[in-house]
Amino acid sequence: MKVICSGMSKTGTKTLASALKTLGYNVYDFEEQVFYIGRDLQKVMDEGWTVEDLRRIYKGVDAVTDIPGCILWEELYHAFPEAKVIHTERASEEEWVRSQQKQIDAAVEHKSTRWLMQLSSTGRRVGSFVNAAYRLQVSTQRFSPFYKTPFNAQFAKLRYREHNANVRAVASSDRILYFNFKDGWDPLCKFLGVPQPNKPFPHRNKGGEIAGEIIEKSLIFEQIRKELFVTLPLLGAFLCAFLYYACIVFGLIK
């Protein structure tokens, strides 16, 4: 591990992941953490961890962004003492909680997709992973495919405030960069000791628009679609057989 991004979700994690990938780092953002090491991280979130667990799980990963890595940042900080920390925040906690709510609303809009996820083992695993990660991040949020769940903005802001204060209290000044995206490549590349790329600094997921892109193009949903290709025909055959049997029982078919 070379870079630990400690900023919570909705503090520019997608932009930072894109920037680090451009600089040549093997970045595990939310999607990679779910898809490649999700089972191990689920156990970590549910049952706890050791330093050895984290070193094994994140072996070969250059940088981590978004949940649950950002919530485990302090444990990763001690597990990988050579790693540098990049911390990002929104302009205010009110702005952060509005962005968090907007991201949740954007995901909730895809009702049919959320229902179909329940027919896929990968979909159900991702749902469990998201709930565990959000439980660690804001303690109160839980997603359901069947109804819109409440969002406790006041408690979420408290957790956000605590998280940022903890980063400032724990990380030594020689290992951390408090990064503002407006500053672009220069401070980031100087901190990491890498040359600046000859391309504009990226900006991703403004206003939560990436939710639809994730559903359409991600590794996770590609796997879900493959599983549904098998599951839906089987479900259809089962329903047809059930209806046929019901018709016989009720005398509709002789």
Secondary structure letter of residue 49 according to DSSP: -
Start-end of H helices in the chain: 13-22, 30-47, 51-57, 73-79, 93-108, 111-117, 121-138, 153-170, 185-192, 210-217, 219-249
Q: Give tens-digit pLDDT for 82-138.
A: 999 999 999 999 999 998 888 777 766 666 566 666 667 777 777 778 878 877 877
Which sequence spans correspond to the domains of the chain? 3-249
Are the C-beta atoms of residues 64 and 76 closer than 8 Å to each other? yes
The CATH code that applies to domain 3-249 is 3.40.50.300
> Pick from 185, 218, 205, 181: which is nearest to 23 by CA?
185
Binned at pLDDT 50, 70 and 90, residue 171 comes out as very high
Q: What is the dihedral of CA 57, 63, 68, 71, to 10 degrees?
A: 110
Tens of pLDDT, residue by residue over 7-41, are 999 999 999 999 999 999 999 999 899 989 999 99
Nearby residues of 94 by Cβ (< 8 Å), 6 or more positions away: 157
